[in-house]
Structure 1
Amino acid sequence: MANKVFLATYSLKIEHKKTATILSQFDGQKDFYDFLKKFLDEVFENVKATPSINDRSVLHLALDEPVKADLNKRALYGFLSSGVNEDKFIVREGDEKKYISDPDKDITYRNLFFYIQLPIGKTSGYLIIQKKRDLGAKGLLTKSLNLFLREKGFNEYKLNASNLLNKRVYDTMMSKGRLKKIDFIKHSIPDTIEELYDNRNKVYTQRGTLTTTLKSRTSLSDYWKVLVHNIFIGKNQNSVIELNDGSDQVDEIEFELEFNGKIKTFHVQQKSRTQPDIDVTSDIKFQNNEPTIESLVEVAEGLIEEILTLKPVNAK
């Protein structure tokens, strides 16, 4: 049986002194598409080794085949090979132990599909990457690319990849899933217990975090589902979220939706904090229990189109 396929969606930006640049001329003239193609060609020729976030292990980025380029769509795609040599592992064939690995020499690799599209004249591109447990390929790719930028003399430039939630994920979980929890969060706290329970005093001066939580072992009512849905898709122009016709305010609302055993936390103000993975197994074609690259590319392009065009449906 083929494993489930999850793809995660991210926006890509090149920043110069914290200001996003146009990708097709990120240093005034150079096209980041060509720069990225050169980087991936070098990854194919030589494995890129990068310290992990905690610097306790070395992560390895490789390409077993040259990257595929679609210049008309300004896309690059293929299978990244992400590996780590941190712990010893045992290789078995059936019940027979073959050998114990040497962490200094042996590296475990797993292939991950990726698709990158860099529209011309825009400051944001798209990264679609396959997500597998315990493999932070997005972080490894961006860290390696930033090292490559510095190696090539672009010391004032930095690549950032931010979560980009595909609305299909939200639509499905909101319309078909169960609302398990809501957190109403203020970044200020009362000075006294009397002030906390004084409904007339809604403005606190002391810095801190005050969270009011609604939680159900099964599901909160449709009232709460409609409420958070309307707030989530609304346009929050200010740094606060107004409740009760503006008589009360919170700084953030976070809520958990559960669908088919998967729980995801959504954030109203900081939507980029929401994990962007989506189960696309039903859309993928398999050959010998492995997803075909043609169907992965088709789904990746569809996800980008959905990000650009879909509107959230009303909660049911």
Structure 2
Amino acid sequence: MLIEYIKLFKNKNFYLSICALILLVVIAVVLGVKEHNEEYQLTERIYGQYYEEEIVEDVLIFVSPYKQWLGFTNNLASELYYLIFPLLISFALVDSIYQERKSGYSQYIFMRMERQKYYKVKFATTFLTAFLLFVLPIYLGVVLVNLFTNHWDYTAYANIYRGFVEGTLAIPDNAISVFKGDIQFLFSDLLSISPYAYATVFYIIGGLFASAYICLGLALSMFIKNYYLMIFMPQIIYTSLWFLATNHPKWAPFFFLAPDGIHGDNSLSIMVIEFLLQLLLTFVIYVIGMRKHDDVL
């Protein structure tokens, strides 16, 4: 696996992919922090005119910076990150078997390493790297939002959220109607503990799906001869599921991977079923592709 990462670090596409992902994150953070500051000032001005300071403070806690983390905010850059991540990540990883077979490097490898070990290492490296490429830039966004808003402790929000869900929080009715969208139906208990815990679950799920899409593209690369079609294949599959699930969005990963997805329709069972089916399909295609190229010396 170390050799695979040495080759990866020498691949310029790997760095282009990282730069593109980080660029989207930085743009999302800039837009998010600006939106947070504006919303905080507006809320403080509106409620400060009519309510006591204690009530205003409770309401302002709801205007939390965590809502500007990627996946929680609906600004353009955040939405774009969740829309095109398969393409941006596949650009660095999907063509590795194709390029090594095309250059003849795989023939050299097969003289020094068992075929099965080569393909296992290639799959494992791709899976882990795709996961990290999806997750690490998002966590960079979390750090940047917290840094620019100077807010790191979300204990107060977790406590307020718990009271809000239980109906024990005394805030104005108009504030309840404004912030009722904060109530989550999936992993709500985690949000009442900490937004960090809630975000981590969704980011891990997103990373696993990213890995599954990229590994599916890797498997298909053993059958596709057109380079550009190969690179775009994970994105094509991801986007196609979005269009096919127009009337049933809870089945479209685009809608349930982000924490700010379709809340009430989000289902853990659907996530697990889709992930396992996709992984099974990937394994089947990958094994067939391995056997297809058994004649390569």
Using structure 2 for the length normalisation, give the TM-score: 0.23
- Larger relative contact order (CA 8 Å, sep ≥ 6): 2
Q: Pick the structure with more strand per residue.
A: 1
Q: Pick the structure with more helix per residue.
A: 2
